[in-house]
Every structure is written in structure tokens, then in C-alpha cells.
Amino acid sequence: METTLRGVGVSHGVAIGEVRHMGTAVLEPPAKQIPAEEAAREQGRARQAVEAVAADLIARGNLAGGEAQHVLEAQAMMAQDPELIADVERRIAVGSTAERGVYDAFAAYRALLANAGEYLAGRVADLDDVRNRIVARLLGVPMPGVPDSDEPYVLIARDLAPADTALLDPALVLGFVTEEGGPTSHSAILARALGVPAVVALPGAGELAEGTVVAVDGSTGEIFVEPSAEKRAEMESAAAARKAALSASSGPGATSDGHKVPLLANVGGPGDVPAAVEAGAEGVGLFRTEFLFLDDSKQAPSEEKQVAAYRAVLEAFPEGRVVVRVLDAGADKPLDFLTPADEPNPALGVRGLRSLLDHPDVLRTQLTALSKAAQGLPVHLEVMAPMVADRADAKAFADACREAGLQAKFGAMVEIPSAALRARSILREVEFLSLGTNDLAQYTFAADRQVGAVSRLQDPWQPALLDLVALSAEAARSEGKSCGVCGEAASDPLLACVLTGLGVTSLSMGAASIPYVRATLAKYTLAQCERAASAARAADSAEEARVAAQVVLSGE
């Protein structure tokens, strides 16, 4: 009998197939004591396992390329964390085996994060995956991972670690469903990059029996268990129509009556550029430069290394617009040379622009490198600061750009409610705004963007969040300046229409989402988008806002 479940759709598309479950997690190793004379040998085993797992994660990243590579390299750094390794060795010194020492050290760190309520708790799935891989290597058992199957399937998991998501084969994994996670988790971001339909935050997903046929709608978040022939035909027909619309859609982003809405790509480095170009991106709306810095948490990359990486991206978009976000360190992206190690809540501490203003040499080097990278190129370079709270922040950043001799537009990200509320004030110092809806939702609703339990508050359809977008766009319009969106909200085709109706002037997203957004925008006039935006803002919940906008755009 057909039943319907609902999670959070995070990657467009439809998948219909049999359920296969993620491999069983590593069992807890026995807590046996070892003689003191064996401690050195066990410590050596632990170090070798850590290095092997880190090397494997880096190798997987090299195979995957693009944003996945940066995520996996960050996870490898997690495996090699000096404090964790020191804790493992202390536990072995007092009698633990290597595998038990690893298990207990990671468990203590996991509990510390959860109990403190820190922003890094959102990386628990990544931490668990690193632990399981190290313990598995020490025990000599197979690594946890995706199931072996010759036939395509829908993958079900409690959560997916980046190492698994990055190497999913779209020819076999039709789509995936997880019990945990949120719309901005690593798994969700990588699913969109792969173009694999995905639904997260679905309670009870693990109870679906192996072999059960499910139909997954990655746009609506609906899961149809044992779908009827009629439902399958309906979903397949809708998927075929969507594919045809995508194929027919090309050129710059615009509404049906010719209102231009540039569609830009979010990239993490040169590896993400080919997909963006292939998708028809009109430029880059968010170049996340922090991944270059995460290669070595001990020191900033040299100016020469930065110039080479920046120029590789800038050269791919001649005459196009490339918006670069300067280093956004802190919270879940700590850097030893930059961010404090003892903050009780890093998400509310010294991160983003605050870190850079405390370390002006790091900011100056990056701005100088960007200036040199753009020399002689026809690209339209724009540089923006993360975590701008007020006019003073905006002025400090603009002053730093001018002092570095940067020939570019200077902008501010709106990720903090205060920046949206005082957008006109901020725009007296900078030339454009860019809304980071992921963090803006997090700070507006006091809801960690990586915690599945509060994912409803991370839904970018929340009317309160739309209100802040409208405030920012209105301020930019009154000042004759631009206001784009570079958060994951822009990747939702229906929401892209609403954002356009709110006055947003450009949309930036993962490359895989660009064709969907382009095709959807082209179906409606600007006036229809504006009416849909008004209807969404008048709603009282995210779901009501989505339905209200849909009703307006469908003409019902």
C-alpha cells in the first residue's frame, strides 16, 4: 500500500528504485587493558592508522575534485588534529589498546561539542566517519560505506559523511535519503554538486526495509513508499517534462518578460569552474576562498599561491562578473594561525571579517593577491567581506581594500540580522550586498545550520527570512546598488522566482541548479514573481509560504 513520508528536499530530481542501506557502522572495540610495555607499539599503530585514513580521504578528494575535494581535505585535517591524537596516546599510555583509545578519545570530543552546544556539533557526522575509518583499519575490518550492488538503488542512511557522498556513482545511486542532516549540510551541498536527488531530515528513514521500492522527489522532500503504478507514471512524466524544459532553456537568466536576473555559480576553487561553465553560469557569485587556506591550518598560503588560484577562476569568465568572498575562517572552519582556540561558542565569536581585522596582514596579503590576479584580465572583479554586522565593519573592509590598491567593487555579505536591518547604512560604505541565506537563517532563528532537529527553521521559505531579504533588496534599490543572493536558497527554482519578486538582482548557486532555475524563471513575468513574493511574506510558516507562492505562479 502506498504511503507518503516527508523530509527536506535538498537536491532536485526524481529517483525511483529499491532501498539499499548504508553499511553497518564499526562496532565498539572491547575495553581490554594492555601491559605497559606494549603502549609504544599501540601508539605507533594508532598514528599509522590516522595517517592512512587521512591519506585515503585526500586520495578520495583528488578523485572527486571540485568542492568535494576541499571538504574531504578538511576532513583529513580533522583526522590529524594534534589534540585528538595526543588524547589517543594518553589513553594508550594508561592501558588502552590503539582502537579503544581512538574510540574513547573521539567519543569524548563528540560529547564535549554536543554538551557545549558549539557550532562544530554540526560536523558530528564527519567526526564519526573519521573515527569509524580509523577503528576499522585498526581492527582489520572493511570500512563503512555504500553497499555493493550491480543494480541501481536508492541509498538510505542515518547520515552520509562527505567521504561517501563525494564518490557516489550517479549511475548506481539513483538518489539518497538520510534521517539526519539539513539543507546546508555537507551531504546536501555535495548532492547538489553531483546532481543526485536527495532528501534529508526524514525521521524513521532507517526503518524502510531493504528492497522496498520508493520514489524520491528531491524538490518537494516527499518519499512515496511502494508507489502505485499511477504515482510512478506521474513522477516519471514530471521528471521527463522537467528534463525537456532544461534542455530547451539556455542563455542569460531572465523572466518571461525580459527582466534580467544574472545566474551565477558558487565555487570553492578552480576545480569547480568546468561544471559552472558547462551549466551556463554568467559568472561567479560566491568564490569561497577559505578552502585554499584550509590546505594548511598552521599558516596562510603564500601570496604567489593565492594569485595562481584566483587567476585560474578569473580567467574562466572573461567579461563576466566574479564575486570573491575573502577568507571566512572560524566556527566550523578553524585555522590555528587565525582563530581563537578557546571560544565557548565560535559561531558567535571571532569569525569572518572579525578575524581578518584582528590579523590585518592576512587580509592585506589576500587583497594584494586578488589585485595581482586580476591584472590584465577583462573580468569584473568584486570582493566582499563575510559576517559584516554594521557600518563600522563595512568601512573597515572598504578602507582595507583601498589601502591594498584593489581595483574592484567592494561589498558586504548580509548574514547577520543587524546587517539586513541597517542595510542602507552599510551601503554608504560599500557598493553591493550579497545575502548569505544559510547563516542569515541560522542567526535569525538561533538554529544551527547543521542540526537536523531544527531543519524547519533553516528552511529559506521562512517568512521572517523573506522579510530580511526584502529589507536588504529595498535598501539596495533605494541606493541604486545591487543585492544578490548566494546562499542555498537561490538553488530552489520556485524560491528563485520569489527572491526575484523581492527585488534581488542576481542569484548564485551550485552549478547543477542553474538549468533548473533558468528554466523556471523563464516561465513567469516579473509581476507574477512580485505577487508570489507578497503572498509568501503574508504566510505564517515556511510551508504556507511555499504553497502560497505556488498557487500564485500556477494561476490557481
Q: What is the CA 68 to chain-centroid distance, rounded?
A: 10
Q: Scan for cell 594508561, then name that residue.
A: 94
- In this prediction, residue 451 carries a pLDDT of 66
**Cα(180)–Cα(201) distance, integer angstroms:** 4
Catalytic residue among 12, 70, 186, 359: 186
Distance set, CA 163 to CA 64, 304, 552 (Å): 9, 30, 41
Residue 359 vs residues 186, 302, 339, 355, 390: alpha-carbon distances, Å: 28, 15, 10, 6, 19
Quick check: helix, strand or coil at residue 535?
A: helix
- Which pLDDT belongs to residue 112? 67
Beta carbons within 10 angstroms of residue 12's beta carbon: 26
CA distance 260 to 266: 19
Provide the pLDDT for residue 385.
98
Amino acid, res. 389: A
pLDDT of res. 144 = 66
Rounded Cα distance between 452 and 443, Å, is 16
Q: What is the CA radius of gyration of the chain?
A: 24
- Walking along the chain (556 residues) 10 residues at a time, the average pLDDT comes out as 86 90 75 90 94 86 71 81 91 94 88 52 70 87 72 88 73 89 71 83 88 91 93 87 74 96 92 89 94 75 94 92 92 72 80 94 96 94 98 98 95 98 98 95 85 77 97 98 92 94 96 89 96 98 93 86
| CA 7/CA 157 separation, integer angstroms | 13
Q: What is the pLDDT of residues 126-149, one digit of tens each?
A: 778 888 889 988 988 766 677 767
Query: What 3 state SS string does 103-159 have?
Result: HHHHHHHHHHHHHHCCHHHHHHHHHHHHHHHHHHHHHCCCCCCCCCCCCCEEEEECC
* CA 179, 181, 182, 187 torsion-angle sign: negative
Active site residue 21: no
Beta bridge partners of 485: 435, 507
Cα–Cα distance measured from residue 505 to residue 97, given in angstroms and rounded to the nearest whole number: 58
DSSP string, 468-504: HHHHHHHHHHHTT-EEEE-SGGGG-HHHHHHHHHHT-
Which residue from 271, 274, 265 is spatially nearest to 324, judged by alpha carbons? 265
What is the structure's pLDDT at 118? 39
Cβ(84)–Cβ(105) under 8 Å? yes
Residue 438 C-alpha from the chain's centroid: 8
List the catalytic residue out of 401, 483, 486, 497: 486
d(CA 166, CA 186): 10
Asked whether the beta carbons of 455 and 505 are under 8 A apart, the reply is: no
Question: What is the grid cell recorded at 141?
Answer: 575490518
Catalytic residue check, 186: yes
pLDDT at 18: 93
Residues in the chain: 556
Q: Hey, CA dihedral for 332, 336, 341, 347, is it positive or negative?
A: negative
Cα–Cα dist 86/215, whole Å: 47
Burial of 326 (0-12, 13-18, 19+ CB in 10 A): buried
Q: 307-321 burial string, b = 16+ CB within 10 Å, else e? A: bebbbebbebbeebb
